Structure 1
Amino acid sequence: MFAAPRPADILAGLRAGRVFAATGDLIDRLDFRLSSVRHPRRGAAMGDTLLLHPGDPLRVTIRLRPARKPNPGGHVPRLDHVDLILGSAIPGEDDHNPTTRLIRRFTARDWRREGDLLVVRYRLALQGRGYLRLRGTNTRQEEPAPDLAGEDPWQDLWFYANPIYYRTRAR
């Protein structure tokens, strides 16, 4: 499922919005999906838009691979938590979206191991239009904060995933 990407695949992923960024090798694989519980073949991944039927229960599936070896700072980072974030799609706004909010924080109590992957499955209901995105860290910080002068950057690592968009179909 997770083969080493070819350069053409990387460019295609960037163009399609199917990428994540991680600092300090916190994770090296991420599969983030949103699908209908009633119709599991109807789903979306990062960069996609899922058309929802009103009242359709949904499943978020997160599959990621945390660090397995020391990063260039000499640490094997340990993932503390992953945040599922919801925002309303507001075209033309600046990079601050006041509708953005934390839906759920996942910790080791919430994920299970499947080989070398951590897997989270979560059910929710959405309506209207908007997006879901992920971020995760090795710290207990509630929100990312700028690094302070002299702070060890290897102790404050984060990853961010491109969003999955959704929109409710008209009845």
Structure 2
Amino acid sequence: MTRTALGLLALLHTVALAAQAPAPLYRGFAPGMGYREFAARARALSDRDMLRCNTSTNTARIMECGVAMRDPADSARFYLSAHFIDGNADVVALYDSAGFGDNRGARLVDATRRHLTRVYGRPRVVKRGMWEWRYGRQAVRLSWRGRASARWVSITLTDYTVMDRISRFVTPGARRKS
């Protein structure tokens, strides 16, 4: 085989492996997971709150759900939300905040960054206050922001293949004449 053919074969093999990469799992949730699996896991982790879901006013095939949860593994508390298209999650997000009147905010961000680096490895820095780990057409994104001692953290699991399905439900706007 020629060098070009070997190089092309190696590239195709790498692309095939990336396409087969397992969904990035975080606290039992994964982008692209089905609604029933999500609901069962969310209900198991919600200690005082009830899972609430709302369907789109245009179609029942699009739904959003949310619940306050506590992970028994480390007692971490989050607000968990997910957006579903045709029964699969295109976005699963976990939100947390701290540091309102104390110094816990900076510790929350540092601990979350360390934890996600342990779970997923070295991140790709998207911009200040945002890290990302890519897995083919799926991604894990950590975003944080702050004001004074307060900090807000979000961990977002996204499946872009599922997200692309939203185009079926969007009607193009009327063209305007200039």
Q: Name the TM-score, length of structure 2 as normaliser.
A: 0.27
Larger Rg: 2
Say which structure, 1 or 2, has more relative contact order (CA 8 Å, 6+ apart). Answer: 1
Would you tell me which structure has more helix in proportion to its own residues? 2
Q: Give the TM-score normalised by structure 1.
A: 0.28
